[in-house]
């Protein structure tokens, strides 16, 4: 690998960035696809794997007495701080990573070397899983030119999308005007159509000077024009940057956090996107009007808004498969510029913007409001976000369908959808109620302005700070209960069959009843749930008088650590499994009945101690 200046550096320390506790000593490896840190601790030899394509920024900080710090920020919101003893090594790693994190050819991306050991046929089938022509048939459309959300079959109202018209101050286009007429006429239920411009009005007006702009209501008959101010990609990029700075704060006070979050504007932007989606969903469902949506180019805000509206209107998109279809349709096939927005190849940093991240967050905000409406769970969203950046699967490569075809993506890479579908058991929402009246039709949000429904998504942006997340998962617990119920039912059935046989052969002395005690074996999972208990953080602040030694935090580091096996299964979130393992460890050494904890044992295990210093004096 010509870009790797040094493949291995020893005696590197991995700093726990929130904690002030001792860093883990280990060896850093650079491979063609990953940065790998392996801890020296002989009993664990913990591994941290980072895909080059996940690396967002690399920062070399001023050398200190202990070595040269290197800060790696990832696109999936992981943050790694390494201290490399020799400045020269650090420089080599830095230079290598700068290059490795910014490939110049698609062929350098991980998906072209990633091999999940499937044969050709399986791979092809994987790509067939999501078939858009099927989707248009489902919507009752023979014509695949418009995207249409056809929940409102009686009215034939539709959602259409385009880019801005090149109107300038006075230009007209008769054909375009006729086109809009045609859309209106296609829907006999309404005598007007909405044209929704998702930009702030000021931006749209500024575009006029450049010969672009928006529809003149005088020229188009029977349109209702509506601006919905969603900011542009540059504002969104800066907003995310500011929010991530807040997430990185070391033990922020409640005020630091809330002010920082507000100043980032992030939740305000999320709300703007949701509001636009809600407006369109209402126009279609309540006024039975067709809606034409556009922004400037028609592939960012338009994609966000149309897909939010579709989710609100059509329960199909709230299923596991339907959601894949929605992303395939509104994002991949309509030319959302994945490569530019998510910086897969080295390019203009000003093109990068978290557009689909915002859509994914909108879905999460809806899931929080409607816990029974979605077939999939939060993990599904997090894993999709992860893979949009990982470049491990071919789905999100390039900027358009055309480019993907030229690259022969389907012949050379694997499809994420097949992978997610295979593991769908992990992504199910146990609370999903397909039958419930609330989840069947349109999702109706409260009519009163409800700012409170927009919450900070710590499960995404603080994903790798396990200590900040709820320590027990309701989803996993309920899925386990459901599975157990199913097993019990199967066993019961088997027992019934056996009984029947026994009766047939008249084996009177067989004791069947003893079998009935078996189900209790399965209750095992409940104890493992308990084991997710944790250890305290530093609640004492800088009151040194209180704690002579730092309290232990336990082994909640797991999500950081990608072991090779897990990587092969391409699971971006190993928290569930490894958390429980570490919990078991915890249980054994720190059960209350065990009495005092032994300090030496603590400092050995203690990864996240002082994870956050909660109370500043």
> Residues at the annotated binding site?
232-233, 295-301
Task: Identify which range of 246-254, 277-285, 331-339, 563-571 contacts another protein by CB under 8 A.
Answer: 246-254
DSSP letter for each residue of 457-487: -HHHHTTT-GGGS-SS-HHHHHHHHHHHHHH
Name the 3-class secondary structure at 580.
helix
Pairing of strands 8-15, 159-162: unpaired
**189: nearest Cα among 221, 159, 160, 157:** 157
Task: Identify which range of 59-67, 202-210, 260-268, 343-351 contacts another protein by CB under 8 A.
Answer: 260-268
**Facing residues of 67 across strands?**
64
Identify which of residues 422 and 444 has a Cβ nearer to another protein in the complex: 444
Residue with tokens 């090594």: 89
Binding residue numbers for substrate: 232-233, 295-301
Identify which of residues 407 and 597 has a Cβ nearer to another protein in the complex: 597
Q: Is residue 469 part of the contact set for another protein (CB under 8 A)?
A: yes
**How far is residue 494's CA from residue 518's CA, in Å, rounded to a whole number?**
12
Q: Which of 132, 209, 474, 598 binds another protein (CB under 8 A)?
A: 474
Q: Is residue 598 part of the contact set for another protein (CB under 8 A)?
A: no
**How far is residue 532's CA from residue 258's CA, in Å, rounded to a whole number?**
29
Residue with tokens 């201290």: 83
Smallest gap from Cβ 378 to another protein, in A, equals 14
**79: nearest Cα among 17, 32, 122, 36:** 17
Task: Identify which range of 81-89, 161-169, 300-308, 443-451 contacts another protein by CB under 8 A.
Answer: 443-451
List, by residue number, the catalytic residues: 295
**How far is residue 19's CA from residue 409's CA, in Å, rounded to a whole number?**
43
Q: Is residue 587 part of the contact set for another protein (CB under 8 A)?
A: yes
Identify which of residues 321 and 590 has a Cβ nearer to another protein in the complex: 590
Site for another protein in 270-309 (CB under 8 A): 271
Q: Is residue 66 part of the contact set for another protein (CB under 8 A)?
A: no
Identify which of residues 409 and 480 has a Cβ nearer to another protein in the complex: 480
Q: Is residue 315 part of the contact set for another protein (CB under 8 A)?
A: no
Q: Is residue 202 part of the contact set for another protein (CB under 8 A)?
A: no
**236: nearest Cα among 295, 168, 311, 278:** 295
Q: Is residue 600 part of the contact set for another protein (CB under 8 A)?
A: no
Q: Is residue 581 part of the contact set for another protein (CB under 8 A)?
A: no
Q: How far is CA 428 from CA 59, 128, 387, 414, 474, in A?
A: 38, 22, 18, 22, 12
Q: Is residue 558 part of the contact set for another protein (CB under 8 A)?
A: no
Q: Is residue 597 part of the contact set for another protein (CB under 8 A)?
A: yes
Task: Identify which range of 286-294, 309-317, 397-405, 498-506 contacts another protein by CB under 8 A.
Answer: 498-506
* Residues touching another protein, count (CB under 8 A): 97
Give the burial class of 326: count Cβ atoms within 10 A of its Cβ; 0-12 exposed, 13-18 middle, 19 or more buried.
buried
Q: Which of 67, 165, 322, 551 binds another protein (CB under 8 A)?
A: 551
**How far is residue 389's CA from residue 357's CA, in Å, rounded to a whole number?**
10
**Facing residues of 71 across strands?**
59, 81
Count helices and strands (H / E) in the chain: 23, 11
Site string for another protein, 360-379 (x = CB under 8 A): ---------xxxxx------
Q: Which of 124, 257, 441, 576 binds another protein (CB under 8 A)?
A: 257
Smallest gap from Cβ 605 to another protein, in A, equals 14
Q: Is residue 467 part of the contact set for another protein (CB under 8 A)?
A: yes
Smallest gap from Cβ 509 to another protein, in A, equals 6
Q: Which helix (H) or strand (E) holds 28?
A: strand 24-30
Task: Identify which range of 189-197, 312-320, 327-335, 493-501 contacts another protein by CB under 8 A.
Answer: 493-501
Q: Is residue 349 part of the contact set for another protein (CB under 8 A)?
A: no
Q: Is residue 485 part of the contact set for another protein (CB under 8 A)?
A: yes
**How far is residue 277's CA from residue 198's CA, in Å, rounded to a whole number?**
10
Smallest gap from Cβ 434 to another protein, in A, equals 11
**292: nearest Cα among 228, 249, 360, 231:** 228
Smallest gap from Cβ 439 to another protein, in A, equals 8
Q: How far is CA 437 from CA 332, 434, 442, 444, in A?
A: 31, 8, 10, 11
Site for another protein in 206-235 (CB under 8 A): none
Give the burial class of 425: count Cβ atoms within 10 A of its Cβ; 0-12 exposed, 13-18 middle, 19 or more buried.
exposed
Task: Identify which range of 173-181, 248-256, 345-353, 413-421 contacts another protein by CB under 8 A.
Answer: 248-256
């Amino acid at each position: 690998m010509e870009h790797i200046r040094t493949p291995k550096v020893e005696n590197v320390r991995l700093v726990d960035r929130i904690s002030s506790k001792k860093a883990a000593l280990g060896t850093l490896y650079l491979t063609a696809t990953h940065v790998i840190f392996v801890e020296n601790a002989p009993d664990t030899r913990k591994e941290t794997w980072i895909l080059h394509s996940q690396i967002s920024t690399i920062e070399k900080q001023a050398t200190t007495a202990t070595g040269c710090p290197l800060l790696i920020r990832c696109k999936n919101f992981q943050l790694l701080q390494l201290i490399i003893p020799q400045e020269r090594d650090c420089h080599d790693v830095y230079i290598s990573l700068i290059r490795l994190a910014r490939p110049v050819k698609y062929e350098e991306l991980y998906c072209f070397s990633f091999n999940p050991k499937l044969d050709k046929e399986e791979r092809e089938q994987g790509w067939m899983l999501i078939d858009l022509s099927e989707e248009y048939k489902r919507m009752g459309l023979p014509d695949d030119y418009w995207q249409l959300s056809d929940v409102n079959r009686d009215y034939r109202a539709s959602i259409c999308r385009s880019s801005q018209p090149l109107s300038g101050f006075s230009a007209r286009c008769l054909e375009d005007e006729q086109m809009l007429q045609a859309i209106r006429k296609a829907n006999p239920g309404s005598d007007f159509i909405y044209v929704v411009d998702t930009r702030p009005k000021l931006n749209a007006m500024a575009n006029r000077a450049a010969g672009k702009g928006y529809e003149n209501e005088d020229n188009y008959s029977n349109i209702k024009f509506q601006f919905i101010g969603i900011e542009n990609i540059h504002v969104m990029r800066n907003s995310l940057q500011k929010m991530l700075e807040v997430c990185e704060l070391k033990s922020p006070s409640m005020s630091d956090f809330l002010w920082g979050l507000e100043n980032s504007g992030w939740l305000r932007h999320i709300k703007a996107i949701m509001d636009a989606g809600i407006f369109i969903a209402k126009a279609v469902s309540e006024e039975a009007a067709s809606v034409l949506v556009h922004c400037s180019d028609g592939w960012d805000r338009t994609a966000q808004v149309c897909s939010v509206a579709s989710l609100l209107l059509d329960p199909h998109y709230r299923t596991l498969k339907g959601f894949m279809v929605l992303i395939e349709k509104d994002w991949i096939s309509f030319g959302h510029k994945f490569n530019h927005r998510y910086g897969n190849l080295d390019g203009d940093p000003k093109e990068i913007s978290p557009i689909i991240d915002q859509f994914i967050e909108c879905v999460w905000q809806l899931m929080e409001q409607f816990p029974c409406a979605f077939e999939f769970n939060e993990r599904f969203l997090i894993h999709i976000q992860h893979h949009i950046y990982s470049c491990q699967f071919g789905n999100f490569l390039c900027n358009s369908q055309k480019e993907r075809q030229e690259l022969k993506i389907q012949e050379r890479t694997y499809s994420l959808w097949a992978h997610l579908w295979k593991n769908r058991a992990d992504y199910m929402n146990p609370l999903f109620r397909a039958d419930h009246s609330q989840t069947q039709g349109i999702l109706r949000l409260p009519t009163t302005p409800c700012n409170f429904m927009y919450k900070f998504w710590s499960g995404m942006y603080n994903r790798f700070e396990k200590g900040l997340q709820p320590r027990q998962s309701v989803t996993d617990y309920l899925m386990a209960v459901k599975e157990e119920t199913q097993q019990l039912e199967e066993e019961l059935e088997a027992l019934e069959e056996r009984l029947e046989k026994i009766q047939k052969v008249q084996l009177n002395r067989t004791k069947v009843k003893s079998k009935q005690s078996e189900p209790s074996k399965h209750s095992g999972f409940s104890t493992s749930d308990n084991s997710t208990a944790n250890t305290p953080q530093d609640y004492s602040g800088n009151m040194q008088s209180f704690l002579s030694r730092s309290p232990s935090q336990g082994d909640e580091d797991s999500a950081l650590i990608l072991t090779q096996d897990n990587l092969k299964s391409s699971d971006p979130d190993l928290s569930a499994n490894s958390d429980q393992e570490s919990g078991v460890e915890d249980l054994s050494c720190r059960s209350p009945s065990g009495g005092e904890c032994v300090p030496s044992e603590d400092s050995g295990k203690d990864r996240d101690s002082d994870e956050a210093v909660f109370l500043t004096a």
